[in-house]
A = this chain, B = another copy of it.
Amino acid sequence: MSYFRPNIEKMNGYVPGLQPTGDKITKLNTNENPYPPSPKVMEAIGGVSPDRLRRYPSSTCDAFREEAAKVNRVPPESILCCNGGDEMLTIAVRSFCGEGRPLAYPTPTYSLYPVLAASQNCPGIEVEFDESYNLPGELLHTGAKLTILCNPNAPSGSFVEPSVVQRLAGEFKGKSVLLVDEAYVDFASKNCAHLAQANDNVIILRSMSKGYSLAGLRFGYAIASKELIRGLEKVKDSYNVDALSIAAATAAIKDQEYFLGNIEKVKSERARLTNALCDLGFKVPESQANFILAQCIDRNAAQAYKELTRREIYVRYFDLPRLEDKLRITVGTKDENDALLKALKEILHADGDTAR
Protein backbone atom coordinates (compact mmCIF):
# COMPACT_ATOMS: atom_id res chain seq x y z
CA MET A 1 0.00 0.00 0.00
CA SER A 2 1.34 3.41 -0.92
CA TYR A 3 0.47 6.75 0.66
CA PHE A 4 1.11 8.50 -2.66
CA ARG A 5 -1.39 9.23 -5.42
CA PRO A 6 -1.29 6.34 -7.91
CA ASN A 7 0.17 8.53 -10.68
CA ILE A 8 3.01 9.62 -8.39
CA GLU A 9 3.64 6.07 -7.15
CA LYS A 10 3.84 4.82 -10.74
CA MET A 11 5.92 7.58 -12.32
CA ASN A 12 9.66 7.86 -12.64
CA GLY A 13 11.15 11.17 -11.61
CA TYR A 14 13.17 13.33 -13.98
CA VAL A 15 16.76 12.17 -14.26
CA PRO A 16 19.04 15.19 -14.38
CA GLY A 17 22.40 15.04 -16.16
CA LEU A 18 25.40 13.95 -14.11
CA GLN A 19 26.97 16.73 -12.07
CA PRO A 20 30.50 15.42 -11.59
CA THR A 21 33.00 17.71 -9.91
CA GLY A 22 36.78 17.89 -10.00
CA ASP A 23 39.47 20.03 -11.55
CA LYS A 24 40.48 17.65 -14.29
CA ILE A 25 37.07 16.97 -15.80
CA THR A 26 35.67 18.45 -19.00
CA LYS A 27 31.97 19.01 -18.38
CA LEU A 28 29.98 19.39 -21.59
CA ASN A 29 26.84 17.51 -20.55
CA THR A 30 24.29 19.91 -19.01
CA ASN A 31 24.52 23.03 -21.19
CA GLU A 32 26.03 25.40 -18.68
CA ASN A 33 27.66 28.54 -20.07
CA PRO A 34 31.44 28.01 -20.08
CA TYR A 35 32.14 31.60 -19.03
CA PRO A 36 31.56 33.05 -15.55
CA PRO A 37 28.67 35.44 -14.81
CA SER A 38 29.20 39.20 -14.94
CA PRO A 39 31.49 40.58 -12.19
CA LYS A 40 28.54 42.81 -11.29
CA VAL A 41 26.74 39.69 -10.08
CA MET A 42 29.38 38.98 -7.45
CA GLU A 43 29.28 42.63 -6.37
CA ALA A 44 25.50 42.53 -6.01
CA ILE A 45 25.67 39.37 -3.90
CA GLY A 46 28.29 40.97 -1.65
CA GLY A 47 25.95 43.94 -1.21
CA VAL A 48 23.08 41.93 0.29
CA SER A 49 22.91 42.80 4.00
CA PRO A 50 22.14 40.38 6.85
CA ASP A 51 18.94 42.34 7.33
CA ARG A 52 17.74 41.46 3.83
CA LEU A 53 18.35 37.78 4.56
CA ARG A 54 16.40 38.05 7.80
CA ARG A 55 13.32 39.49 6.10
CA TYR A 56 11.07 38.03 3.43
CA PRO A 57 12.03 38.98 -0.12
CA SER A 58 9.79 40.78 -2.61
CA SER A 59 7.15 38.25 -3.63
CA THR A 60 7.10 39.74 -7.14
CA CYS A 61 10.87 40.33 -7.47
CA ASP A 62 10.18 43.97 -8.32
CA ALA A 63 13.80 45.01 -8.90
CA PHE A 64 14.31 42.26 -11.47
CA ARG A 65 10.94 42.83 -13.14
CA GLU A 66 11.78 46.45 -13.80
CA GLU A 67 15.02 45.56 -15.57
CA ALA A 68 13.61 42.59 -17.49
CA ALA A 69 10.71 44.77 -18.61
CA LYS A 70 13.16 47.27 -20.11
CA VAL A 71 15.25 44.62 -21.86
CA ASN A 72 12.18 42.94 -23.34
CA ARG A 73 10.15 46.12 -23.90
CA VAL A 74 7.09 44.90 -22.03
CA PRO A 75 5.33 46.24 -18.91
CA PRO A 76 6.64 44.87 -15.57
CA GLU A 77 3.18 43.37 -14.90
CA SER A 78 3.76 41.07 -17.88
CA ILE A 79 6.65 39.38 -16.11
CA LEU A 80 6.55 36.60 -13.52
CA CYS A 81 9.78 35.46 -11.87
CA CYS A 82 10.43 31.88 -10.92
CA ASN A 83 12.90 29.63 -9.18
CA GLY A 84 14.48 28.39 -12.40
CA GLY A 85 12.63 27.76 -15.65
CA ASP A 86 11.60 24.32 -14.40
CA GLU A 87 9.44 25.91 -11.73
CA MET A 88 7.59 27.94 -14.37
CA LEU A 89 6.92 24.77 -16.38
CA THR A 90 5.52 23.14 -13.24
CA ILE A 91 3.35 26.16 -12.47
CA ALA A 92 1.98 26.22 -16.03
CA VAL A 93 1.12 22.50 -16.04
CA ARG A 94 -0.62 22.89 -12.65
CA SER A 95 -2.51 25.94 -13.94
CA PHE A 96 -3.86 24.58 -17.21
CA CYS A 97 -3.67 20.76 -17.20
CA GLY A 98 -5.33 17.95 -15.29
CA GLU A 99 -7.45 14.88 -15.86
CA GLY A 100 -9.10 15.44 -19.27
CA ARG A 101 -6.91 18.50 -19.87
CA PRO A 102 -3.86 17.22 -21.77
CA LEU A 103 -0.38 18.62 -22.15
CA ALA A 104 1.15 18.35 -25.66
CA TYR A 105 4.64 18.87 -27.05
CA PRO A 106 6.60 17.95 -30.17
CA THR A 107 9.30 15.27 -29.67
CA PRO A 108 12.14 14.54 -29.21
CA THR A 109 12.45 17.35 -26.70
CA TYR A 110 13.23 18.24 -23.07
CA SER A 111 12.55 15.06 -21.10
CA LEU A 112 11.02 16.94 -18.17
CA TYR A 113 7.71 17.57 -20.01
CA PRO A 114 6.37 13.99 -19.71
CA VAL A 115 7.42 13.91 -16.05
CA LEU A 116 5.33 17.03 -15.38
CA ALA A 117 2.33 15.47 -17.15
CA ALA A 118 2.68 12.32 -15.03
CA SER A 119 2.93 14.28 -11.79
CA GLN A 120 -0.17 16.31 -12.69
CA ASN A 121 -1.98 13.11 -13.74
CA CYS A 122 -2.85 14.57 -17.14
CA PRO A 123 -2.41 12.99 -20.57
CA GLY A 124 0.94 13.85 -22.15
CA ILE A 125 0.44 13.92 -25.92
CA GLU A 126 3.65 13.55 -27.92
CA VAL A 127 3.74 14.56 -31.58
CA GLU A 128 6.92 13.85 -33.49
CA PHE A 129 8.89 16.59 -35.24
CA ASP A 130 9.58 15.74 -38.89
CA GLU A 131 13.11 14.78 -40.03
CA SER A 132 14.17 18.43 -40.25
CA TYR A 133 12.51 19.37 -36.96
CA ASN A 134 9.71 21.33 -38.59
CA LEU A 135 6.61 21.83 -36.49
CA PRO A 136 4.25 18.85 -36.99
CA GLY A 137 0.77 19.81 -38.19
CA GLU A 138 -0.85 17.31 -35.82
CA LEU A 139 0.09 19.63 -32.97
CA LEU A 140 -2.98 21.67 -33.93
CA HIS A 141 -5.38 18.82 -33.23
CA THR A 142 -4.29 17.33 -29.91
CA GLY A 143 -7.03 18.98 -27.83
CA ALA A 144 -4.34 19.92 -25.30
CA LYS A 145 -5.00 22.76 -22.87
CA LEU A 146 -1.28 23.55 -22.84
CA THR A 147 1.25 23.01 -25.61
CA ILE A 148 4.94 23.46 -24.89
CA LEU A 149 7.34 24.26 -27.70
CA CYS A 150 10.99 24.20 -26.71
CA ASN A 151 12.53 26.76 -29.08
CA PRO A 152 15.45 26.43 -29.76
CA ASN A 153 14.63 22.80 -29.12
CA ALA A 154 16.66 20.57 -26.84
CA PRO A 155 18.39 18.34 -27.67
CA SER A 156 18.24 19.11 -31.41
CA GLY A 157 19.26 22.78 -31.34
CA SER A 158 16.69 23.39 -34.09
CA PHE A 159 14.62 26.56 -34.28
CA VAL A 160 11.04 27.22 -35.40
CA GLU A 161 10.58 30.65 -36.97
CA PRO A 162 8.54 33.16 -34.93
CA SER A 163 6.09 33.56 -37.84
CA VAL A 164 5.32 29.83 -37.65
CA VAL A 165 4.93 30.01 -33.87
CA GLN A 166 2.52 32.92 -34.32
CA ARG A 167 0.35 30.81 -36.64
CA LEU A 168 0.19 28.10 -33.98
CA ALA A 169 -0.74 30.64 -31.29
CA GLY A 170 -3.46 32.04 -33.54
CA GLU A 171 -4.98 28.60 -34.05
CA PHE A 172 -5.00 27.99 -30.29
CA LYS A 173 -6.56 31.37 -29.49
CA GLY A 174 -9.65 31.07 -27.26
CA LYS A 175 -8.93 27.37 -26.76
CA SER A 176 -5.57 26.74 -25.18
CA VAL A 177 -2.22 28.13 -24.14
CA LEU A 178 1.08 27.94 -26.00
CA LEU A 179 4.20 28.07 -23.84
CA VAL A 180 7.41 28.74 -25.77
CA ASP A 181 10.30 27.46 -23.68
CA GLU A 182 13.07 29.85 -24.70
CA ALA A 183 15.68 28.57 -22.21
CA TYR A 184 18.26 28.59 -25.02
CA VAL A 185 17.04 31.56 -27.05
CA ASP A 186 19.92 33.82 -26.00
CA PHE A 187 22.07 31.84 -28.46
CA ALA A 188 19.56 32.10 -31.34
CA SER A 189 19.25 34.84 -33.92
CA LYS A 190 15.55 35.55 -33.22
CA ASN A 191 13.05 35.10 -30.39
CA CYS A 192 9.29 35.11 -29.78
CA ALA A 193 8.98 37.69 -26.97
CA HIS A 194 6.73 39.91 -29.09
CA LEU A 195 4.18 37.10 -29.39
CA ALA A 196 3.44 37.33 -25.67
CA GLN A 197 2.20 40.87 -26.21
CA ALA A 198 0.27 40.11 -29.41
CA ASN A 199 -1.57 37.05 -28.07
CA ASP A 200 -3.53 36.48 -24.87
CA ASN A 201 -2.61 32.79 -24.87
CA VAL A 202 1.17 32.82 -25.23
CA ILE A 203 3.72 32.42 -22.43
CA ILE A 204 7.39 32.97 -23.18
CA LEU A 205 9.75 31.28 -20.73
CA ARG A 206 13.25 32.64 -20.19
CA SER A 207 16.09 31.32 -18.06
CA MET A 208 19.10 33.03 -16.53
CA SER A 209 20.89 29.65 -16.38
CA LYS A 210 22.40 29.48 -19.85
CA GLY A 211 22.87 32.88 -21.48
CA TYR A 212 23.67 34.62 -18.18
CA SER A 213 25.84 31.82 -16.71
CA LEU A 214 23.67 31.44 -13.61
CA ALA A 215 22.53 27.81 -13.51
CA GLY A 216 23.55 27.70 -9.84
CA LEU A 217 21.21 30.56 -9.03
CA ARG A 218 17.84 29.11 -10.16
CA PHE A 219 16.23 32.09 -11.81
CA GLY A 220 13.87 32.26 -14.72
CA TYR A 221 10.93 34.36 -15.77
CA ALA A 222 7.81 34.26 -17.89
CA ILE A 223 6.53 36.94 -20.25
CA ALA A 224 2.78 36.88 -20.89
CA SER A 225 -0.40 38.97 -20.88
CA LYS A 226 -1.20 40.55 -17.51
CA GLU A 227 -4.25 38.28 -17.24
CA LEU A 228 -2.19 35.11 -17.62
CA ILE A 229 0.44 36.41 -15.20
CA ARG A 230 -2.24 37.16 -12.59
CA GLY A 231 -3.53 33.59 -12.81
CA LEU A 232 -0.09 31.99 -12.69
CA GLU A 233 0.74 34.15 -9.67
CA LYS A 234 -2.02 32.45 -7.68
CA VAL A 235 -0.40 29.06 -8.25
CA LYS A 236 3.19 29.97 -7.46
CA ASP A 237 4.48 30.00 -3.87
CA SER A 238 4.37 33.57 -2.54
CA TYR A 239 8.09 33.87 -1.90
CA ASN A 240 9.44 31.59 -4.61
CA VAL A 241 12.68 33.46 -5.31
CA ASP A 242 15.17 34.45 -2.61
CA ALA A 243 16.75 37.80 -1.87
CA LEU A 244 20.24 36.79 -3.04
CA SER A 245 18.96 35.45 -6.35
CA ILE A 246 16.90 38.56 -7.00
CA ALA A 247 19.95 40.77 -6.40
CA ALA A 248 22.23 38.59 -8.53
CA ALA A 249 19.81 38.13 -11.44
CA THR A 250 19.01 41.84 -11.49
CA ALA A 251 22.71 42.71 -11.74
CA ALA A 252 23.16 40.12 -14.50
CA ILE A 253 20.34 41.32 -16.73
CA LYS A 254 21.44 44.95 -16.27
CA ASP A 255 24.89 44.13 -17.63
CA GLN A 256 23.82 43.58 -21.24
CA GLU A 257 27.27 44.42 -22.60
CA TYR A 258 28.95 41.60 -20.70
CA PHE A 259 26.10 39.23 -21.55
CA LEU A 260 26.23 39.94 -25.28
CA GLY A 261 30.01 39.51 -25.31
CA ASN A 262 29.68 36.03 -23.78
CA ILE A 263 26.98 35.06 -26.23
CA GLU A 264 29.20 35.98 -29.17
CA LYS A 265 32.05 33.91 -27.77
CA VAL A 266 29.80 30.87 -27.41
CA LYS A 267 28.40 31.30 -30.93
CA SER A 268 31.87 31.56 -32.39
CA GLU A 269 33.03 28.38 -30.61
CA ARG A 270 29.81 26.67 -31.68
CA ALA A 271 30.71 27.32 -35.31
CA ARG A 272 34.29 26.10 -34.85
CA LEU A 273 33.20 22.96 -32.96
CA THR A 274 30.54 22.17 -35.57
CA ASN A 275 33.07 22.38 -38.40
CA ALA A 276 35.68 20.35 -36.57
CA LEU A 277 33.18 17.59 -35.78
CA CYS A 278 32.06 17.50 -39.43
CA ASP A 279 35.72 17.13 -40.40
CA LEU A 280 35.89 14.15 -38.05
CA GLY A 281 32.98 12.54 -39.90
CA PHE A 282 30.07 13.50 -37.66
CA LYS A 283 26.84 14.84 -39.10
CA VAL A 284 25.99 18.07 -37.26
CA PRO A 285 22.86 20.05 -38.14
CA GLU A 286 22.86 23.79 -37.49
CA SER A 287 22.20 24.63 -33.83
CA GLN A 288 20.71 27.83 -32.45
CA ALA A 289 21.49 26.79 -28.87
CA ASN A 290 24.67 26.45 -26.78
CA PHE A 291 24.97 22.77 -27.61
CA ILE A 292 25.09 20.66 -30.72
CA LEU A 293 23.59 17.28 -31.52
CA ALA A 294 26.28 15.33 -33.36
CA GLN A 295 25.34 12.20 -35.25
CA CYS A 296 27.95 9.45 -35.22
CA ILE A 297 28.14 8.07 -38.75
CA ASP A 298 30.81 5.40 -38.51
CA ARG A 299 30.72 4.84 -34.79
CA ASN A 300 28.41 3.59 -32.07
CA ALA A 301 27.34 6.68 -30.11
CA ALA A 302 26.78 4.84 -26.82
CA GLN A 303 30.28 3.42 -27.10
CA ALA A 304 31.80 6.81 -27.89
CA TYR A 305 29.94 8.27 -24.90
CA LYS A 306 31.41 5.61 -22.63
CA GLU A 307 34.92 6.16 -23.90
CA LEU A 308 34.63 9.91 -23.45
CA THR A 309 33.34 9.42 -19.90
CA ARG A 310 36.29 7.13 -19.17
CA ARG A 311 38.52 10.07 -20.14
CA GLU A 312 36.51 12.34 -17.77
CA ILE A 313 34.95 14.16 -20.69
CA TYR A 314 31.22 14.35 -20.01
CA VAL A 315 28.69 14.79 -22.83
CA ARG A 316 25.03 13.68 -22.86
CA TYR A 317 23.75 10.51 -24.44
CA PHE A 318 20.03 9.65 -24.68
CA ASP A 319 19.05 6.05 -25.38
CA LEU A 320 15.84 7.17 -27.08
CA PRO A 321 14.30 7.01 -30.57
CA ARG A 322 16.09 9.36 -33.03
CA LEU A 323 18.78 10.10 -30.43
CA GLU A 324 20.48 6.75 -29.86
CA ASP A 325 23.04 7.41 -32.62
CA LYS A 326 23.91 10.92 -31.42
CA LEU A 327 25.84 12.82 -28.74
CA ARG A 328 24.61 16.09 -27.31
CA ILE A 329 27.63 18.25 -26.66
CA THR A 330 27.56 21.55 -24.76
CA VAL A 331 29.72 24.23 -26.37
CA GLY A 332 32.59 24.77 -23.95
CA THR A 333 35.59 27.06 -23.84
CA LYS A 334 38.18 26.73 -26.61
CA ASP A 335 40.29 24.48 -24.36
CA GLU A 336 37.34 22.28 -23.40
CA ASN A 337 36.25 21.88 -27.01
CA ASP A 338 39.83 21.07 -28.03
CA ALA A 339 40.03 18.42 -25.30
CA LEU A 340 36.82 16.87 -26.63
CA LEU A 341 38.02 16.92 -30.24
CA LYS A 342 41.36 15.40 -29.30
CA ALA A 343 39.66 12.60 -27.37
CA LEU A 344 37.21 11.91 -30.19
CA LYS A 345 40.10 11.67 -32.67
CA GLU A 346 41.78 9.09 -30.45
CA ILE A 347 38.56 7.13 -30.01
CA LEU A 348 37.82 7.09 -33.74
CA HIS A 349 41.44 6.30 -34.59
CA ALA A 350 41.40 3.27 -32.28
CA ASP A 351 38.97 1.68 -34.74
CA GLY A 352 41.49 1.85 -37.54
CA ASP A 353 41.41 3.67 -40.87
CA THR A 354 38.10 2.35 -42.13
CA ALA A 355 36.26 4.24 -39.42
CA ARG A 356 38.13 7.42 -40.40
Count contacts on A: residues with CB < 8 A to the other chain: 79
A205 at interface by CB-CB < 8 Å: no
Given A54-B36, A55-B215, A242-B218, A235-B99 contact (CB < 8 Å): no
Cross-chain contact B3 with A237 (CB below 8 angstroms): no
Contacting residues of chain A (125-166) with chain B, CB-CB under 8 angstroms = 145
CB-contact partner of A231 in B1, B4, B97, B237, under 8 A: B4
Contact with B along A9-22 (1 / 0, CB 8 A): 10111101001000
Question: A234–B55 contact, CB under 8 A?
Answer: no
Closest CB-CB distance, A86 to chain B, in whole Å? Answer: 4
Q: Give the number of times this chain occurs in the complex, counting copies.
A: 2
A24-73 residues at the B interface, CB under 8 angstroms:
27, 30, 32-33, 35-37, 41-42, 45-46, 48, 50-59
Contact, CB under 8 Å: B3 / A96: yes
Instruction: Check B55 against A3 for contact (C-beta < 8 Å).
Output: no
Known A-B contacts A3-B145, A4-B95; the reply to A48 vs B50 at CB < 8 A is no
- Say yes or no for A283: interface residue by CB 8 A criterion: no
By Cβ-Cβ distance, the 7 closest A-B pairs, closest first, are A13-B234, A216-B243, A36-B50, A218-B242, A53-B216, A86-B237, A16-B238
